[in-house]
Amino acid sequence: MKVSLYISFSIYVLLHLFHPHHCAAVSNLAPQSSASPHFNYTLNTFYLNGQPFQIIGGQMDPQRIPHQYWRQRLNKARSMGLNTIFSYVYWNLLEPRPGEWTTAKPDNDIAQYFKIAQEEGLHVVLRPGPYICGEREWGGFPAWLSTIPGLEVRTNNTLFMSYAKRYLEKLLAELQPLQATRGGPILMVQVENEYGSYGDNHNYTASLRDILRRNLDPGTILYTNDGGVQFTLDGGNVPGTLAEIDGDPSSGFQAREKYITDQSELGPLLDGEYYTLAPDQWGSNATHNDPDGDQDTIDGFVKDLDFVLGGNNSISLYMFHGGTNFGFGNGGIWRPENYLAAFTTSYDYGAPLDESGRTTSLYYTLRGVIRKYSPEGSIPDVVPDVPRSSIADFSLHPIGDLFDSLPKPTYSIKPITMESLNQAYGFILYEATSNASYSGILQPGDRPRDRVLVYVNGEKQGVIDSIYESPAKINVSLHAGDKLQLLAENLGRVDYWSLESGTENELLQPWKGIMGDVVIGDAVLEGWDIYPLPLDPPPSTKQLKKRESIQEGSREKRNRRALSQTPIFYSGKFRTPSSQSSSVGDTLDGTIAAMGLDTFLSILNGTKGVVWINGFNLGRYWIIGPQQSLYLPGVLLNKEKDGWNEVLVLELEPEDGKVMVGRGLAEREWGNAPDPDAP
């Protein structure tokens, strides 16, 4: 097994038995009369249209995939032998601001995704939350919830339940026509998500159950999904709701049969999250999780899949296809050792279908197992993968300093958080001018939230980073008139907290930026200009160049920017590679190829930053790895013949204004490098 800086894969899987993220029959009764005539169950068998039905599923979330690729990815799922897609829904993307509903945006059109799934021969299991974990920012909660006084998430708090109810009602109103009771693909709906790992407030989960019941047809089956041990099953089960497990199927199924005794919660066994591997986390020693070449792990997958399907039970692979945490979408886990394990932009997960939607050797291995339990000829042929493109090296030139592109500040005696300024993601800059001399160790609030770059008069002093158990201690000296600047980056709000974690409940402390006093030695610094920098959208290259031209008359400004240690925007262009491919012809993937070929964009000499392509935020890069390139979907490229694509990069730690280099890779490379800012 590969061991990361934070947790080994084996420990991660063990934790999932207790908190998974994303979190023997006694008789053969007739199908339940209260369930849908289209989909129902007895104690040991699901039935679809009156025939026994075994769920062979896989997790694939639409909001991690460009909508233009939904059909291609779903087609690949059906061709591997899956008959059902399990999908989380991310509340924060559907309602980014209170009352602002965004399902009209194609990437958030969940109903359309489910319609395509049905057209491709797949059924659907809906996992709407409101909490979903899934290594997503704050477990899918919108950041604005944290600004509502008295609101507490994941409990029967009146304020929280009112917003959760509104969210679920709006979502389900759009999905009602797609229930199996009406001939649609939705077979089941999950109540919350692995709640037993978090708590045991059964009034809360029962309230969510009742909201779902009121907004779904009477025959739509509700279920819970929890780790296969006693405390998670005790905490997460909901009367009248089918209780299921995730993690190891052998021990999990035994636990379900032993600890779930309420007859209204019993039914066929389903492993609702069988982990194909694990997600990647940033870190110099955090290697990429990949089953390729790890025969013991692959043999274990085959053995478990045979065990589940051979026992006439059901399963969902987590993940079948992981996709991408585009932009600032990743979450993190606050470890008991008091550091943040921040997840990468890539959510490849070592899944059978890789981040770019191409089949892997694991895909064909699992397809071979599934074929043994499927009627002959029922699994479609696999459409050939579209080749990816490479892009020759292109230059990225500095065009503007982040600190020269600041919005109007908010003044405050004490620092205030991102959320206090109605900011959800990105960066926030705190700037104070010293009125006396101070010297000593800098403490930016209660703790780094999450990564704080420290400058005095524009000169970098160091980085205080919460991905380390013991972040760097930076000694700062200020004289009267000196300017202290603290640039805080949100690396991803904590998406998981467990009863077993041994830490404070970080789901209740999602605030980013600086919380508390800034202290140098024993002195508290007061009087701050605070600049929210969500970078959504970032300044355009025209805006940055205009600012640059305005500054041309100032030699001091020019010299400062040329030698800047503060973050710099870089810009460059490349032409769209040819998308002609004789190997894919007029097939489904041939249609995808016509949209533009995918690639993996690498910033060769970057340290840490963010990349936008034609205005779209691809996500973060970081030299420490294991991710060394960003997935660039071909659908984002300029489709005109030999069209130009504009790349904007914010490099947080530039080197004296040097030219940077971008490159597109047809074959991804993973790797790690030392952290230049390690404590």
Residues involved in catalysis: 194, 273
Instruction: Tell me which residue has tokens 């986390």.
Output: 281
CA dihedral for 62, 63, 65, 68, sign (positive or negative): positive
Q: What phi-psi label fits residue 504: left (phi over 0), alpha (psi between -120 and 50 degrees) or beta?
A: beta
* Strand ranges of the sheet holding 459-465, from the earlier edge strand across to the other edge: 410-412, 528-533, 427-433, 483-489, 451-456, 459-465
Buried b (16+ CB within 10 A) or exposed e, 451-487: bbbbbbeeebbbbbbbbbeebbebebebeeebebbbb
Instruction: Tell me which residue has tokens 């041939």.
Output: 590
364: tokens are: 């064909």
Report d(CA 38, CA 509) in Å as an integer. Answer: 44
Q: What is the total residue count of the chain?
A: 679
| Residue 217 and residue 181 in contact, taking contact as beta carbons nearer than 8 Å | yes
Report d(CA 68, CA 48) in Å as an integer. Answer: 30
End-to-end distance of the chain based on CA atoms, in angstroms?
Answer: 27
| Residue 78 and residue 120 in contact, taking contact as beta carbons nearer than 8 Å | yes
Distances (CA, A) of 573 to 144, 392, 643: 36, 11, 10
CA dihedral for 254, 256, 262, 263, sign (positive or negative): negative
Report d(CA 240, CA 138) in Å as an integer. Answer: 29
Report d(CA 115, CA 175) in Å as an integer. Answer: 10
Instruction: Tell me which residue has tokens 């025939």.
Output: 51
Q: Are strands 427-433 and 483-489 parallel, antiparallel or unpaired?
A: antiparallel
Instruction: Select from 456, 453, 496 the least CA-distant residue to 476.
Output: 456
The amino acid present at 601, given as its one-letter code, is L
